[in-house]
A and B are shown apart, each in its own frame.
Chain A
Amino acid sequence: MIAGLSLLSLVIWVPIAAGVAVLATGSDRNAGLARVLALIGALAGFALSLPLYTQFDNLQAGMQFVEISPWIETFKVTYHLGVDGISVLFILLTTFTTVLVVIAGWKVIEKRVAQYMAAFLFMSGLMNGVFAALDAVLFYVFWEAMLIPMFLIIGIWGGPNRVYAAVKFFLYTLLGSLLMLVAFIYLYTKGGTFEILDFHRLPLTLTEQILIFFAFFMAFAVKVPMWPVHTWLPDAHVEAPTGGSVVLAAIMLKMGAYGFLRLSLPIVPDASHALSGFMITLSLVAVVYIGLVALAQTDMKKLIAYSSISHMGFVTLGFFIFNAYGIEGALVQMISHGFISAAMFLCVGVLYDRMHSRMIADYGGVANKMPIFAAFFVLFAMANSGLPGTSGFVGEFMVIMGAVKANFWYAFLAAVTLIFGAAYTLWMVKRVVFGAVANDHVEHLKDVSSREFLVLGLLAVAVLGMGLYPLPFTEVMHHSVNNLLSHVAQSKL
């Protein structure tokens, strides 16, 4: 069938081609056309990604929709794409989020619209590429190329301190990625191929494994971000435009975690086991300490940024306890966090577009003037603090179950911080949404427009749907996760 042959390529290249078309509309005189084209591109990308899910064979653990063709023969690099139960959901998440950010930026972005929309479409294609690539060089090319549009998005459409944030974002990620590249080249000189699946089988000594583990760690921990290399994230989030924050939180952070799962664990299993204590400690520090830091924030975007770091701590915790509950929980948590963080940033964006302030102190009693918005905001805040019935609960619950099996105290610490999560989120909501109308600006607020309602509504459906019936998500990943676990359990020494 044609669809199965080139579906992944289409999911990558259609958004990029659409981005080129959007760029071709030129100056802001054609902004309307640029927006429409961008929406068509984003919807096409989403439509193309749906068959990946519907035609996906849940019972098969290996790669599906595989495409392979020679690319750079000199280095035996191939254009090798494929998805398994772990990666397929992230491609859907990416294309879905792209549609949301295009709609969310519809009115808000007024200068250089074509470049803005094109940047998101390019990024969408490149991120799909990261999740689909099965060749290390191809993976690296997508991984790095993605930095360029994000750098421009933060730097051009960002807040007052955007240059600092953009450069910091770029250099931090570049440093990590380059060490990963060195690890790839090392593996190539060992094994004579850049195929990621062949790397999985390559025997390595423990010293080699530990060095490679740290090279990967630099790339992925920065991206996740794990404590203590997380400091770029609050800056980048605060300065980025709403769309940029959404993509950063919903997808880019997931790439780091995905990297651990696709590369670190299977390529260097012994090092991963040996260093699991280290990884769990860092994860728990992120969960507990960053949770406390979030409590002290006065800026809503910063608060959500810290909350993201804390939630991603759950994800890395789930990976390194090496059981199915932990990893599946972490994956569910990643997808759920993709929805929730996107929703939270969009909510802040809605407020920011009206008031041009992100400070909690500038708000109060928003519910009186924006009841529909307040309902959404409270729903997402509840999901963020892990209320049962929302998607936030499922992942955290599964990770904690996994952690109990590994060690009671891990689970205890992780669970205790659910309280922090609830505290900082709900306290923020209380100060922003409830109470008496705080000032004249709030008095003049208008409730969400139909465009904003659409975006938030879609996310609300996703959050509730996944919370009430998570099976469609977990059954896809089940076999691939078990396969991964059995692979990781085998020593390479």
Chain B
Amino acid sequence: MIFAMPNLTPALPEIFVLIMVSLILVVDLFLSGKNRFISYALTQFTLLGAAWITVSTSGQDVVHTFNGMFVDDVMADVLKMMTYLAVAAMLVYSRSYIQLRNLFSGEFFVLVLFAMLGMMVMISASHFLTLYLGLELLSLSLYSLVALQRDSAQATEAAMKYFVLGALASGLLLYGMSMIYGATGSLELSKVAAAVQQSAGSRTMLVFGLVFIVAGLAFKLGAVPFHMWVPDVYQGAPTAVTLFIGSAPKIAAFAFVMRLLVEGLQGIAHDWQGMLIIMAVLSMAIGNITAIAQTNIKRMLAYSTISHMGFLLLGILSGSLNGYSGSMFYVLSYVLMSLGTFGMILLLSRKGFEAENIDDFKGLNQRSPWYAFMMLLLMFSMAGVPPTVGFYAKLSVLQAALQAGFVWVVVFAVLMSVIGAFYYLRIVKLMYFDAPEDQSPISSQPDAGVLMSMNGMAVLALGILPQPLMALCAYSIQHSLL
């Protein structure tokens, strides 16, 4: 038997990240506390290097490797670039936060990079096993990140919940995959797609498997009715980790849905559309309505995430290229907003003080008009009010859903976003209309401050000129799915 060396070029970024993680793991052993920034710098260097490799190996074509288990296409490149960006931004935002809470350690960086590697594998997977491998690498790293603050009972509880429910969801997903395997005789997405298209195998078995797969996906996205873990984990995890969970993994989850449902199971789109509609509608309703009652901002944002995932599903369920690129635009802009919002919580926190109650935002306009303005932009963007990027995100998915004929779902979504606007407005109200309770100065690091300004301005700039990002999403979807 001849061993053929697989083409490694498409997987170069992953290989590079893996080598660097191992390196950081070893180097960190020899670093004392005050030299720890070397690990931080190495991590940022890894992201930069991965970005450079991704750009230099990118092309228009869809390249498969490892016997069809791994794929490199435009969508994967774009999503990976955004993942690096999100992880890098998360590291900058949380640097001083984790330093003050004794989390500034090698494990943190290694786990973050492993999680990112998992996301990259998910984004590039074209095989059930690769998908699962990436997912588990991501999830296991996230479970441990949540539990990283060992002495915090809340964090440990959150990690336990996350782990138990996450393991259950993975089980469901695997079960669903095995059913599909049984029905189609393949684990490779393109072959599964072909088999489904020719309606080979038992349809009952296919749909049966699909139900489990959709349940597993919904859990990972945090869509109702599989959303129970989201608020607890968001609230319990250290804010830096919440920022991480709330940003980059959403990109991977989007890729996951695209690979599984659109690339693999497009043939039974009619069946998953129905399920997604129910989940989208419930997510928008429960997410938005429950968020109103929250006093903890991390918890409130958790419910807001749930509702955003509902909107994200709107694009996917419309089942058109238009809708997929709309959803992609949605997830990218959502990550941008989510980074900024959690970043703001980190900026306002200081030693021994977590700015995690919504009342901590009171009078921010008097303490720092600039940060208040950034937060204002982020909140209006979350609410989908122009001229911010959140508006175009909503516009793209609503347009796709309407084009697919889901008029009443769209009207419902619109009504829900009015409810959503209420709690975002409440944050604006606290910042601008109320007097501050907390007079202490905001001691943000200059790098985090600059990044926050860039983040807020990006939300505004993409709100005025959304075309480049929209075109990029449309381009990558067109060149990846055919």
Interface positions of A (Cβ within 8 A of B): 26, 71-75, 112, 115, 137, 140-141, 144-145, 147-148, 151-152, 155-156, 162-163, 166-167, 170-171, 174-175, 178-179, 181-182, 185-186, 188-189
Assuming A72-B467, A74-B474, A174-B421, is B433 touching A186 (CB within 8 A)?
no
B385: chain A residues within 8 A (beta carbon): 144-145, 147-148, 174
The answer to whether B395 has its CB under 8 Å from any CB of chain A is: yes
Cβ-defined contact, B470 with A151, below 8 A: no
Q: Which 6 A-B pairs have the closest CB atoms?
A: A141-B386, A178-B414, A74-B470, A155-B433, A189-B403, A175-B418
Find out whether the CB atom of A152 lies under 8 angstroms from the CB atom of B432: yes
Contacts of B411 in A (CB 8 A): 179, 182
B101 in the interface, Cβ–Cβ < 8 Å?
Answer: no
Q: Is the CB of A185 within 8 A of B417?
A: no
Cβ B402 vs Cβ A151 within 8 A: no
Residues A73 and B402 in contact, CB atoms below 8 Å apart: no
Contacts of A166 in B (CB 8 A): 429, 433
Q: Would you call B418 and A74 a contact (CB within 8 A)?
A: no
A71→B402 contact, CB < 8 A: no
Of all chain A residues, the one with the shortest Cβ separation from B407 is A186
Report which of A71, A144, A181 forms a contact with B467, defined as CB distance below 8 A.
A71
Q: Which residues of A contact B422 (CB under 8 A)?
A: 167, 171
Report Cα–Cα, A151/B385, bound state, in Å: 13
Give Cα A112–Cα B411 distance, bound, in whole angstroms: 39
Interface residues, chain B, with chain A CB atoms under 8 Å away = 365, 369, 376, 380, 385-387, 391-392, 395-396, 398-399, 402-403, 407, 410-411, 414-415, 417-418, 421-422, 425, 428-429, 432-433, 465-467, 470-471, 474
Q: Are A155 and B402 in contact (CB under 8 A)?
A: no
B interface secondary structure, majority: helix
Give CA–CA (A145, B386) in the complex, Å.
Answer: 5
Write the nearest CB–CB distance from A183 to chain B, whole angstroms. 10
Residues of A within 8 A of B465 (CB): 71
**Could you tell me the distance in whole angstroms from the C-beta of B313 to the nearest C-beta in chain A?**
18
Query: What are the residues of chain B within 8 A of A185 when measuring CB–CB?
Result: 395, 398-399, 402, 410
B173 to chain A, nearest CB (A): 33
Q: Closest chain A residue to B383 by CB distance?
A: A174
**Cα of A141 to Cα of B387 in the assembled complex, Å:** 6
29 contacts between A and B (CB under 8 A): A26-B369, A71-B465, A72-B392, A72-B466, A72-B467, A72-B470, A73-B471, A74-B467, A74-B471, A115-B369, A144-B391, A145-B385, A156-B432, A162-B433, A163-B433, A166-B433, A167-B429, A170-B425, A174-B385, A178-B414, A178-B417, A179-B411, A181-B395, A182-B402, A182-B411, A185-B395, A185-B399, A186-B407, A189-B402
Residues of A within 8 A of B380 (CB): 148
Q: Is the CB of B429 within 8 A of A155?
A: yes
Quick one: given A178-B414, A182-B414, are A140 and B386 in contact (CB under 8 Å)? yes
CA separation between A144 and B396, bound complex, in Å? Answer: 17
Inter-chain contact A167/B399, CB cutoff 8 Å: no
- Are B421 and A170 in touch, CB under 8 angstroms? yes
For the complex, give the distance between the alpha carbons of A141 and B390 in Å: 12
Cβ contact within 8 Å between A141 and B391: yes
**A145 CA to B381 CA in the complex, in Å?**
11
Return the chain A residue nearest B392 by Cβ: A72
Q: Bound complex: CA of A156 vs CA of B435, how far in Å?
A: 11
Find out whether the CB atom of A181 lies under 8 angstroms from the CB atom of B471.
no
B321, chain A: closest CB distance, angstroms? 11
- Given the complex of chains A and B, what is the CA–CA distance between A443 and B243 in angstroms? 62
Q: Which residues of A contact B395 (CB under 8 A)?
A: 75, 137, 181, 185
Given contacts A75-B399, A185-B402, 11 further A-B contacts (CB under 8 A): A72-B467, A74-B396, A137-B395, A167-B429, A175-B418, A178-B414, A178-B415, A178-B418, A179-B414, A182-B398, A185-B399
Neighbour of A151 across the interface among B386, B399, B425, B474, CB < 8 A: B425
Whole-angstrom distance between the alpha carbons of A170 and B387 in the complex?
Answer: 15
- CB-CB under 8 A from A188, the residues of chain B are 399
Chain B residue nearest to A77 (CB atoms) is B467
* CB of B258 to closest CB in A, whole Å: 19
Instruction: Give complex CA distance A167, B422 in Å.
Output: 8
Which listed residue (B376, B417, B425) contacts A167, Cβ 8 A?
Answer: B425
Task: State how many angstroms separate the Cβ of B374 from the closest Cβ of chain A.
Answer: 13
**Minimum distance in angstroms from A116 CB to a CB of chain B:** 12
Q: How far is the CA of A137 from the CA of B428 in the complex (A)?
A: 25
Residues of B within 8 A of A151 (CB): 425, 428
* Residues in B neighbouring A112, C-beta threshold 8 A: 365
Chain A residue nearest to B322 in the complex (CB): A74
Shortest CB distance A235–B (Å): 15
Question: Which one of B414, B425, B467 lies within 8 Å of A73 (CB-CB)?
Answer: B467
Please measure, in the bound complex, the distance between the C-alpha atom of A295 and the C-alpha atom of B365, giving whole angstroms: 40
Q: Which B residues are CB-close (under 8 A) to A147?
A: 385
**Would you give the shortest CB distance from A160 to chain B, in whole angstroms?**
12
CA distance A178 to B415 in the complex (A): 8
Contacts of A74 in B (CB 8 A): 396, 467, 470-471, 474
Counting chain A CB atoms within 10 Å of each CB, the highest count among B376, B417, B425, B470 belongs to B425
Contacting residues, chain B, for A163 (C-beta < 8 A): 429, 433
Alpha-carbon separation in the docked complex, A200 to B402 (Å): 21
CA distance A148 to B418 in the complex (A): 15
CA distance A26 to B365 in the complex (A): 12
Which residue from chain B places its CB closest to the CB of A126 in the assembled complex?
Answer: B387
- In the complex the two chains form, what is the Cα distance from A175 to B385 in whole Å? 12
Residues of B within 8 A of A145 (CB): 385-387
Q: Using Cβ atoms and an 8 Å threshold, which residues of chain B touch A137?
A: 395
Alpha-carbon distance A178/B414, docked complex (angstroms): 6
Instruction: Select from chain A the residue with minimum beta-carbon distance to B403.
Output: A189
B473 CB to closest chain A CB, in angstroms?
8
Q: Within 8 Å CB of B470, what residues of A?
A: 72, 74-75
The chain A residue sitting closest to B405, CB to CB, is A189
Q: Which residues of A contact B391 (CB under 8 A)?
A: 141, 144
* CA gap between A73 and B466 in the complex, in Å: 10
Alpha-carbon gap, A155 to B392, bound state (A): 27
Report B-chain residues with C-beta under 8 Å of the C-beta of A170.
421, 425
Residues A144 and B369 in contact, CB atoms below 8 Å apart: no
Please measure, in the bound complex, the distance between the C-alpha atom of A163 and the C-alpha atom of B430, giving whole angstroms. Answer: 10
Residues of B within 8 A of A171 (CB): 418, 421-422, 425
Q: How close is A25's CB to chain B, nearest CB, in angstroms?
A: 12
A156 in contact with B418 given A148-B385, A185-B395, A189-B399 (CB within 8 Å): no
Distance between Cα atoms of A189 and B474 in the complex (Å) = 17
Q: Which residues of A contact B429 (CB under 8 A)?
A: 155, 163, 166-167
Complex-state Cα separation, A156 to B366, whole angstroms: 11
Known: A145-B385, A170-B425, A179-B411. A156 touches B398 (CB 8 A): no
**Which residues of chain B come closer than 8 Å to A140, judged between CB atoms?**
386
Residues of A within 8 A of B474 (CB): 74
Most buried by B among A115, A140, A174: A174
Q: Output the nearest chain B residue to A179 by Cβ-Cβ distance.
A: B414
**A185 to B385, alpha carbons, bound, how many Å?**
16
A123 to chain B, nearest CB (A): 13
> Is the pair A144, B386 in contact by a Cβ cutoff of 8 Å?
yes
Q: What is the CA–CA distance of A113 and B193 in the complex, to the nearest angstrom?
A: 63
Chain A: CB-nearest residue to B426: A167
Known: A140-B386, A152-B432. A174 touches B418 (CB 8 A): yes
- How near does chain B come to A27, taking the closest CB pair, in angstroms? 8
Which A residues are in CB contact (< 8 Å) with B398?
181-182, 185
Residue of A nearest to B471 (CB): A74
Which residues of A sit under 8 angstroms from B369, Cβ to Cβ? 26, 115
Q: B329 CB to closest chain A CB, in angstroms?
A: 9
Assembly CA distance A175 to B420 (angstroms): 11
Residue of A whose beta carbon sits closest to that of B380: A148
Residues of A within 8 A of B396 (CB): 74-75
Q: Give the complex CA separation of A156 and B432 in angstroms.
A: 6
Most B Cβ at <10 Å: residue of A72, A74, A148: A74
Interface centre among B365, B380, B395 (most CB of A within 10 A): B395
Give the residue name and chain of the A residue nearest to B386 (CB).
A141
Q: Give the Cβ gap from A30 to chain B, nearest Cβ, in Å.
A: 13
> Which residue of chain B lies nearest to A162 when distances are taken between CB atoms in the complex?
B433
Bound-complex Cα distance A181 to B386 (A)? 12
